[in-house]
Structure 1
Amino acid sequence: MHVIATAGHVDHGKSALVRALTGIEPDRWDEERRRGLTIDLGYAWTTLPSGDRVAFVDVPGHQRFIGNMLAGVGPTSAVLFVVAADEGWRQQSQEHLAAVDALGIRHGLLVVTRSDLADPEPALLDARDRFAATSLGEVDAVAVSARTGEGMPALTDALERLVTGLPAPEQAGRLRLWVDRSFSIRGSGTVVTGTLATGSIAVGDELQVGDQRVRVRGLESLGEPRDRVLPVARVAVNLRGVAASEIARGDLLLTPDAWRMASVLDVRVGGRSAGDLPTHLSLHAGTAAVPVHVRPLAEDTVRLTLSTPLPLVAGDRLILRDPGAQQIVGGALVLDADPPELRRRGAAARRGAELESATGVPDLQREVERRGAMLVADAAALGIPNESDDAKVVRCGAWRVSGSALQRWAESLTRCVQQQAADEPLEPSLTIEAARLAAGVPDRALLPEVVERAGLELDQGRVWLPGVRAAMGAAERGLQELEGRLRHSPFAAPEQPDLAAAGIGPREVAAAVRAGRLLRLPDGVLLAPDAPARAMRVLAGLTQPFTLSEARQALDTTRRVAVPLLEHLDGRGWTRRVDGTHRVVVR
């Protein structure tokens, strides 16, 4: 299917033309038919002789309903532009062309209507001249009379040529369906409609609407029920899990957790110099319209702050409209949907200079380099390709990391560990979290890569200089004597007076534990690191099950040592309680 939006001044025959092409009345409301003008969006469809199916979004031409017009043309990629032969180019013709140009629509067809009432040639030549200066450029043109049928066969042929040249849609992408209508049907519940431009939608799919999760109960396209709909298509979606009053034009159906809601955008503007734009404008994207604050960055780039976040990505085209002056001021191409903050003096001008070469096509290497590191999921949500042949981008699990950032972090971490070792010989290492913060690494999962690049060591949850461990200083001799005693009597834990006499204070104990020279159990019990294994060899020789008293006697130790030691063995799964007083060795 192909979806084409109409455009043109009020009462120039857009709806009559659609009706003549399709046999369907696009005006849905009684007031529209009574007044003879389109107020809201209308829809109709037909099958061309080639078999291609075309759906038309019939937009209002009256100036009062320009917002509805922008909602209709926004999600489409082709336009059927209508000018009446007897009236020629008018005010809304110009505003509709400005909207088409702002969106960068390149595929279109000019139709001069009411050729039975006036010579169509002047209107045709005038419109073609105006088109030439816009994104439409040169387009096919046909003069018709919907009343007499004159020119209708030529229009059908021109439509065939138009749809043949339309770009193929992306069917495998994530879903972003802009809602243009929401209503309730008795027995079915909530139904929304929209133009499906990318991705696909199927019955049973779970989708996201704002903060809610909803389920697709049913689908309809061109008046027929469907199990699955592919782009490009007009689609009606029956939703379970949301009331019709909770969803309206401008809302979206999204693939869950696949989009980032952007509240700040850097864009390239067309139509006016950035410095001449009003500070407050209305941004139109898809079927949504939200107020934005405008901050110039350079001659043709500005920063937009949205009053309501939208799921926009680099490459999206927007319309900027001045609601006070009631006119379109230009189009905007999204260059960055996750731009850096502007904190320092001159930051806006520097950011403008950075964006001079931006094209709206996101580049992984450039985006990762700016951030230092980027989660794969975040890149995907921003529409940034996750694969790169650039050696400057390093893949680290769920992250993409800039090689220069890795080197910078490695150098910073080395300096910090060296400083720690010099200042605190008893604690010459940094914990993983302290190391991460010191080096500025965004996630602990990246630290092993940084440690390896720096040539440091990651051991026992700490980062060390190669071969460097705690320097015990004057306490080294006392610690060695304690280690000797524990080798001979592994369960004779030293008392506090013994430690004090050996010159071993709390800091020295902590350093020895970190270095793996002592094992600390609850209640301040200190043993050799191999004490649990040696205890197991003794306990395995006891009659099973055994009591605490039997274990204490076999280990030749005190209750003060036996209780935390046995609890330690329980915790490691080497022994197991069988009742309140007995344990067994787990074999």
Structure 2
Amino acid sequence: MHVVATAGHVDHGKSALVEALTGTHPDRLAEERRRGLTIELGYCWTEWPEVGEVAFVDVPGHERFLTTMLAGVGPVPAALLVVAADDPWMPQAAEHLAALDALGVRHAVVAVTRSDLADPGPAIARASAEVAATRLAGAPVLAVSARTGAGIDDLRAALVAMVTSLPDPDPAADVRLWVDRRFTVRGAGTVVTGTLPAGTVRRGDTLTLGDTQLRVREVQALGRDRESVSGVARVALNLGGRTDDLTRGSVLVTPGAWHQTDVVDVRWSGAGEPPTSPVLHVGAADVPVRFRPLGEGLARLSLPHPLPLRVGDRALLRDPGRRQVWRVDVLDPDPPRLRRRGAA
């Protein structure tokens, strides 16, 4: 399976474009359909002969729902960035692109939508210039119209080429599943969904949430029951055990395989220095942290509760007030304590 996340400003046609590609509308909530606005994460999937199963995580574009957007994009290796031909370059397009860049997403396709309503040339030129200044440089930029179908075949071909170039994750890797949705099914109990970046989850497995062990009763992917699913994949797990603490941002892991830490040393990059109390976005989690500089481009982050982190993990810091983000790379998830002034 391949998983692609959308990104882009509100009302630029992300959901309509996903529907044109898959035949299914990703907005699940009645309120979303009434307002024509994605509020929660949406999911659609299709099967293309060249690459097999392709799932789309459709994220909100409104600035009030940036945290939800980052929860959907965090574990996903590829993106479909959407901008509209009949609008200028908009703030959320810039913020979403900055987030993708900070998270290290290198595989993307840019779709200039509503090309039937305006000349897409200026939007293509602006989007190309903005993307060229990021790690997504070289991503194809294509004009499309979800209403008329113009350019959809070319977009599909570009997406096929993109997912074909993605590296194959290790099916034997330790599982770390960031939960992006939790709900209850009558007669079944607690169900969580998330993007599994690597590893394999099987029916009957035990996963841990902190110190709590949870049993995987059922595994589902793309609407079908499975005996097992390997990443990258969209998965839904029916869990047994004490699930009261499960929320979006919770993380389920292979028992005994991960170091849980509430202090981590990182390398950061971006314009200016992060504030002393930014928000850390990693996987589908967002937590307020204390930022303590250690040197140029180096800092210590203190978390309010432990998370399973490893050397090389990538995340981002965000200042909600300034709408600014910084890239973060984990250098040491078990650093020595600083016990005296100047020890940093």
User: Do both proteins adopt the same fold according to a TM-score greater than 0.5, normalized to the shorter chain?
Assistant: yes
**2:320 matches 1:329:** no
Query: Which structure features the higher share of helix residues?
Result: 1
* Equivalent position amino acid for 1:53 in 2: E
Secondary structure at 2:72 match in 1: helix
Task: Say which SS state the counterpart of residue 25 (structure 2) adopts.
Answer: coil
Name the SS for the 1:340 alignment partner.
Answer: coil
Cα distance in structure 2, aligned partners of 1:148 and 1:8: 21
- Cα deviation, residue 343, structure 1: 2.8
1:132 aligns with 2:132: yes
- Cα deviation for residue 169 of structure 1 reads 0.7
Aligned to 1:315: 312
Residue 303 (structure 1) shift: 0.8
Q: Counterpart of 1:272?
A: 271
Match of 1:249 in 2: 248
Q: Do 1:107 and 1:166's aligned partners in 2 also have CA atoms closer than 8 Å?
A: yes
TM superposition score normalised by structure 2: 0.98
Asked if structure 1 preserves the Cα contact closer than 8 Å seen for 2:274 and 2:317, the reply is: no
Q: State the shift of 1:210 in Å.
A: 2.4
Compare the two structures and name the one with the higher strand fraction. Answer: 2
Q: Distance in 2 between matches of 1:21 and 1:204?
A: 35
Aligned counterparts of 2:51 and 2:197: Cα–Cα separation in 1: 20
List gaps (5 residues or longer) in structure 1.
Answer: 349-587
Quick one: distance in 2 between partners of 1:82 and 1:295?
36
Instruction: Report the Cα offset of residue 233 of structure 1.
Output: 0.4
Contact kept in structure 2, 1:319 and 1:328, CA below 8 Å: no
Does 2:55 align with 1:63? no
The answer to whether the 8 A contact 1:190-1:242 is kept is: no
What aligned pairs does 1:72-151 form with structure 2 within 5 A after superposition? 72-151=72-151
Provide the C-alpha distance between the structure 2 equivalents of 1:223 and 1:34, rounded to a whole number of angstroms.
25
Greater relative contact order: 1 or 2 (C-alpha under 8 angstroms, separation 6 or more)? Answer: 2
String of CA shifts for 1:420-461, please: whole Å, max 9, x gaps.
xxxxxxxxxxxxxxxxxxxxxxxxxxxxxxxxxxxxxxxxxx
Aligned AA for 1:338? D
Distance 2:165 2:88 in 1: 28
8 Å Cα contact 2:51/2:160 also seen in 1? no
* Aligned residue number for residue 7 of structure 1: 7
Is contact 2:40-2:60 (8 Å) kept? yes
Contact 2:274 2:319 in 1 (8 A): no
Give, in whole Å, the separation in 1 of the partners of 2:335 and 2:245: 31
Judge conservation of contact 1:99–1:328 (CA < 8 Å) in 2. no
Q: Which runs of 4+ in 1 moved over 2 A?
A: 342-347
Which AA in structure 1 matches 2:31?
A: E
Give the Cα separation in 1 of the matches to 2:331 and 2:212: 29
Question: Map of 1:381-396 to 2, 5 A cutoff?
Answer: none
- Partner SS state of residue 55, structure 1: strand
Contact between 1:4 and 1:55, CA under 8 Å: does it hold in 2? yes
Corresponding residue of 1:421: none
Partner of 2:261: 262
Question: What is the SS of the residue equivalent to 2:40?
Answer: coil
> Does structure 2 retain, via aligned residues, the 8 Å contact 1:19–1:25?
yes
Please state how far the C-alpha of 1:212 moved relative to its aligned partner.
Answer: 1.2
Match of residue 35 from structure 2: 35
* CA distance in 1 between partners of 2:51 and 2:169 (Å): 18
Q: What CA distance in whole angstroms lies between the structure 1 residues aligned with 2:118 and 2:242? A: 51
TM superposition shift of 1:137? 1.2
- Is 1:283 matched with 2:280? yes
Mapped to 1, the partners of 2:314 and 2:167 lie a distance apart of 16
C-alpha displacement of 1:178: 0.3
Q: SS of the residue aligned with 1:347?
A: coil
Aligned equivalent of 2:198: 198
Matches of 2:341 and 2:303 in 1, distance apart? Answer: 23
CA distance in structure 1 between the partners assigned to 2:256 and 2:155 by the alignment? 43
Q: Give SS of 1:125's match.
A: helix
3-state DSSP of counterpart to 2:278? strand
Report the structure number with the largest CA radius of gyration: 1
How far off is 1:342 after superposition? 2.2
SS of the residue corresponding to residue 295 of structure 2 reads coil
2: CA distance between counterparts of 1:278 and 1:217?
A: 43
